[in-house]
Amino acid sequence: MSDNNDVETEDIRDQSEQGRGKKQLLGEIFKSINRKTSFVKWIALAIVLSVWFASGIYIVAPAERGIVRQFGRFASQTSPGLNFRLPWPIQTHDIVNVGAVRRAGIGFRTNQAGVHTRVDQEALMLTGDKNIADVQIMVLYQVKDPVAYLFRSENPAEILHINSEIAVRSIIGNMNIDHAMTVGRPEVEAGMWEILQKLLDDHETGLHVVGIELQVVDPPDEVREAFYDVVRAKADRERLIREAQGHALDILPRARGEAAAKLHEAEGYKSERISLAEGSAGRFLAVLEEYEKAPIVTRRRLYLEMIERVLPGVEKIIIDPQTAGGNLMQFLPLKDFMSEEGGR
């Protein structure tokens, strides 16, 4: 019985020693695993930190500006190129395109297909002559101050839209619809640009208005045809007036020229007649002076001078009183009689 007990005791001792050996082996294995796990953790941590720091690297394009925020507040503005900031959540950055020309439609909206749809609440405006006009305008603008654009105003695009409507209404409200539809279009664009830029600067939006394009200035659809009939009638009236003025500008200078020529000719004729009259009067006075000195001689001389001037141009018939026809009466038509005699 005692032998059996000794055998069982030895078996239990051997099993205990085997159990202790297995525990030591498992302990060594776990220690080795823990050492490898710590190494992997350090490597993983290094990779994570590298990626975290690398997230602070960013690129700014030539037409862009970078704005760095530190805990949400403005920290700095960066130029185009490769830049670095502290990783999130310490710092973040925004990229603002300052070179792109942006567009805002006033009085209409454009969908993705490019189709324009009028917005009546914005487009219909009261003009200076109490008419209603359908006005649609395209505003072209850029971001000139990225810091003001992001931090000094809330929703700058909405501010631009509202102030654009204010500016165009103030211009159209002081202008007749005829003027706005025709020659006044440049005035609308220039006046709106000036007012809108001042309003944007007052609100510190950081936006710069590049241009104003007046798309439509028309009467409402309900009265458009009747209005255009009136406009065409006025245009015809203006055309006729201009044609009449042009005709007058063509006729009046010629008439003035002809009148001046007539006056000049009359002045010449007047001077000529005066000179002739003065010459005749002088000759008469000279003859009178001679006549008073020798009346008989002067009368005979004047008579002979007159005969010399008259006789060369007069057909003369000389009758010899010694011939048979010398006593003929001088009342016969001698000229016709001589023509008949010559014909025979």
Q: Are residues 124 and 195 in the same domain?
A: yes
In single-letter form, the type of residue at position 262 comes to K
Q: How far apart are alpha carbons 86 and 78 in whole angstroms?
A: 14
Structural tokens at position 332: 């016969």
Could you tell me the two tokens for 103?
Answer: 């567009």
Q: Do residue 215 and residue 229 come from a single domain?
A: no
Has residue 226 been placed in a domain? yes
- The total of structural domains in the chain comes to 3
- What pLDDT does residue 248 have? 84
Do 190 and 228 have their domain in common? no
Q: Which pLDDT score, from 0 to 100, does residue 329 have?
A: 54
Our measurement of the distance from residue 35's CA atom to the centroid of its chain's CA atoms, rounded to an integer in Å, reads 79
Pairing of strands 132-143, 64-70: unpaired
Q: Are 78 and 65 in contact (CB under 8 A)?
A: yes
Q: Is residue 170 part of a domain?
A: yes
Structure tokens at 314: 């007069």
Looking at 205, 237, 256, the residue that finishes a domain is 256
| pLDDT (0 to 100) of residue 170 | 94
The CATH number linked to 201 is: 3.30.479.30
Provide the pLDDT for residue 233: 87
- Tokens for 6, please give them: 């000794």
Would you give per-residue pLDDT tens digits along the chain (344 residues)? 445 545 444 544 554 555 555 556 555 655 655 656 677 777 888 888 888 888 889 999 999 999 999 998 999 999 999 999 989 889 999 999 999 999 999 999 988 887 888 898 999 999 998 888 999 999 999 999 999 999 998 899 999 999 999 999 999 999 998 888 888 999 999 999 999 999 999 999 999 999 999 998 888 877 778 777 877 888 888 899 999 888 888 888 888 888 888 888 888 888 888 888 888 888 778 777 777 777 887 778 777 887 777 777 666 666 666 665 555 555 555 556 555 555 45
Q: Output phi, psi for 196, to 5 deg.
A: -65, -45
- Answering whether pTM is above 0.75, one says no
Does 112 reside within a domain?
yes
Contact of 153 with 204, CB cutoff 8 Å: yes
Residue 279 lies in a domain: no
Residues 213 and 230 reside in one and the same domain: no
Domain match, 65 and 153 both: no
State whether 108 and 212 are in the same domain.
yes
Query: Which residues are 223's β-sheet partners?
Result: none
The confidence score (pLDDT) of residue 332 equals: 52
If DSSP codes are grouped into helix, strand and coil, which group holds residue 73? strand
Q: Tell which of 72, 97, 122 closes a domain.
A: 97
Q: Name the residue range of residue 191's domain.
A: 102-219
Q: Which residues pair with 78 in a beta bridge?
A: 66
Same-domain check for residues 64 and 115:
no
Calpha distance 39→314 (Å, rounded): 157
Which residue matches tokens 């102030």?
163
Query: Does 121 map to a domain?
Result: yes
Is 340 inside any structural domain?
Answer: no
Q: What does the alpha-carbon distance between residue 274 and residue 281 come to, in Å, rounded to a whole number?
A: 10
Look at residues 194, 219, 244 and tell me which one is the last residue of a structural domain.
Answer: 219
Largest CA distance in the chain: 234
Say whether both 213 and 107 belong to one domain: yes
- Residue 199 placed within a domain: yes
For residues 194 and 167, give the distance between their C-alpha atoms in angstroms, rounded to a whole number: 9
**Separate counts of helices (H) and strands (E) for the chain:** 9, 11
Residue 51, pLDDT score: 87
How far is the C-alpha of 211 from the C-alpha of 140, rounded, in Å? 5
In-domain check, residue 66: yes
Q: Both 82 and 129 in a single domain? A: no
The answer to whether residues 146 and 168 belong to one domain is yes
The verdict on 213 and 108 lying in the same domain is yes
pLDDT, position 343 = 47
**Are 140 and 247 members of one domain?**
no
